[in-house]
Structure 1
Amino acid sequence: MSLHETAYAKLNLALHVRARRGDGYHELETLFAFVDAGDRLAARASALDELRVAGEFAGALSDPFDNIVMQALTVLPRAEGLAITLEKNLPVAAGLGGGSADAGAVFRLVERSHGWPDDWASRAARLGADVPACVRSETCLGRGTGTELEPGPTDLAGTPVLLVNPRVPLATGPVFKAWDGIDRGPLPMGTAREIALAGRNDLEAPAIALCPEIAEVLAALRATPAWLARMSGSGATCFALFDSAAQRDAAAAGLPAQWWRLAGNLR
């Protein structure tokens, strides 16, 4: 029997960087949200864990044994292996938590087929700061390095969203390193819409300095009827939120053909 899961694209509706930590990480406050589309995983029982990668961005994953999907399988105890086919539809190094979303989907596949150990959350955190949020792939608030989670407001569920990437990979490390170190204040309180509108992404300026194309994408999105356009994570993907699917689809049709885009709705 084959099991299927979507690795839902992760968005940071707001991302406030508060301080550099002594361990090299950063103190964050963020509102995570997830799109109802992303990479696709199919799994079947196997004597050994296996991974096959397909899809538009498969070529960006050169070593399947170093892939976070295999790492996720390694940290989850099971009586038998899983052979997984990963359809890589999300760009890599794009601020969408693509690898973390893939790992989260693996956790859900293993939960359905074998169940989870009690310490699954700490096992997920070992793989990356975004992975615990991506396991559930539900709107939530993240603090600390992003692994300290609490339920978030759900008023934006179903909101039409458009993701746009200029097809320029942008590694997370250099963006954080380029952050100016200024604490611009905490994440606001309120509904998800209020937090998103009053919040910000503190990594937007350093990301644009490294990848000027981000500014072009944001300018194009802000020229549409979107009620919010912002960069996600450390970039270079940006998102726009709309009041209707028709507005979203018209905006997507007017963008440069060379840009990657994904239309969906918030979960």
Structure 2
Amino acid sequence: MRETAYAKINLALHVRRRRADGYHELETVFAFVDGGDVLSAGPAQRDEVTMHGEFAPQITDPFGNLVSKALTALPRAQGLRIELEKSLPVAAGLGGGSADAGAVFRIVRELHGLPDDWQQRAAKLGADVPACVESVTCIGRGTGTELEPIESDMAGTPVLLVNPGIPLSTGPVFAAWDGTDRGALPEGPVSAVAQLGRNDLEAPAIGLVPEIGTVLAELRKTGAEIARMSGSGATCFATYRSHDVMREAADSLASSQPGWWQMQGRLR
């Protein structure tokens, strides 16, 4: 089996408050790009995970990665051999590890079925993992694990992902959030929520990695309809009215900023 671990972006991410348990109360719109890491799976005597690809060297713990943890979380009568082609940067706001785990859940579902409590098992692996299992547009609340799938009027929208090449861990970004509740997600179709929404983690992330501000400024010069940071960064995304405009933007940035990582795609 081959399964794509679709890159996750947050079309909007509103942080409402810090909770007593140390987590944050969120309202977000999860969306997924039609590309990402690729997992190949086959039967094995026991679970095995191998990795290759551009960003595989950044995953240094063979047992601490989310592919291995997802396999451990799901009971099966047979082992699985997973080969991960790691094309998404690590610690980048794209839910790369969560997307990989979500793809494992889909592989196991196809081959063996999932236990009734799979949502809880997914949530224990990370706040983004439940959304990444189905990889469809949805509203996330709570820590991001309370999901409401919604029809999206942005499906098929061309999108460009750009990362300045600097990993950024989630914890320090949330710790730098100023604690101000700037209000709930707006009402309306997904396109309106995306246009009127915001990412409350942009400012603290830029404070830690100023290059994020440079990426956003460059994206806003390319004719983007929306340019915003995804998750806790450092990846930013831009949506476009046509694939041709998006490709021109990608070519221009590749020429002017050859050190930046980028991926072209469409929203699922």
TM-score band by shorter chain is over 0.9
Residue deviations 1:222-261 (CA, integer Å, cap 9, x gap) = 0011100000000000000001000000000011111000
Q: Which residue is equivalent to 1:39? A: 37
Please give the TM-score of this superposition, normalised by the length of structure 1: 0.99
Residue deviations 1:140-163 (CA, integer Å, cap 9, x gap) = 000000000001231100000000
Q: Which runs of 5+ in 1 are unaligned?
A: none
Of 194, 209, 213, the residue aligned with 1:196 is 194
Residue deviations 1:52-92 (CA, integer Å, cap 9, x gap) = 01000000001111111010001101001000000000000
Q: Which residue is equivalent to 1:158? A: 156
- Structure 1 outlier segments of 4+, above 2 Å: none
CA contact 1:31–1:152 (8 Å) conserved in 2: no
Q: Which residue is equivalent to 1:184? A: 182
RMSD: 0.5
Equivalent-residue separation in structure 2 for 1:220 and 1:152 (angstroms) = 31
Structure 2 residue 173 is matched with structure 1 residue 172: no
Q: Say which SS state the counterpart of residue 263 (structure 2) adopts.
A: strand
Equivalent-residue separation in structure 1 for 2:62 and 2:203 (angstroms) = 33
Q: Say which SS state the counterpart of residue 159 (structure 2) adopts.
A: strand
Q: Which residue is equivalent to 1:17? A: 15
CA contact 1:176–1:203 (8 Å) conserved in 2: yes
Q: Say which SS state the counterpart of residue 63 (structure 2) adopts.
A: helix
Q: Shift of the alpha carbon at 1:210? A: 0.1
Letter in structure 2 aligned against 1:61: I
- Greater alpha carbon shift after TM alignment, 148-157 vs 41-50: 148-157
Q: Which residue is equivalent to 1:117? A: 115
Q: Which residue is equivalent to 1:215? A: 213
Q: Say which SS state the counterpart of residue 185 (structure 1) adopts.
A: coil
Equivalent-residue separation in structure 1 for 2:151 and 2:230 (angstroms) = 18
Matches within 5 A, 1:1-267: 3-255=1-253, 256-267=257-268
Q: Shift of the alpha carbon at 1:174? A: 0.1
Please give the TM-score of this superposition, normalised by the length of structure 2: 0.98
Sequence identity percentage: 67
Q: Shift of the alpha carbon at 1:119? A: 0.8
Q: Say which SS state the counterpart of residue 184 (structure 1) adopts.
A: coil
Equivalent-residue separation in structure 1 for 2:112 and 2:87 (angstroms) = 27
Letter in structure 1 aligned against 2:76: R
Q: Say which SS state the counterpart of residue 102 (structure 1) adopts.
A: helix
CA contact 1:34–1:138 (8 Å) conserved in 2: yes
Letter in structure 1 aligned against 2:194: A
Equivalent-residue separation in structure 1 for 2:5 and 2:91 (angstroms) = 15
Equivalent-residue separation in structure 1 for 2:180 and 2:61 (angstroms) = 37
Q: Say which SS state the counterpart of residue 2 (structure 2) adopts.
A: strand
CA contact 1:164–1:262 (8 Å) conserved in 2: yes
CA contact 1:41–1:86 (8 Å) conserved in 2: yes
Equivalent-residue separation in structure 2 for 1:158 and 1:71 (angstroms) = 32
Q: Which runs of 5+ in 2 are unaligned?
A: none
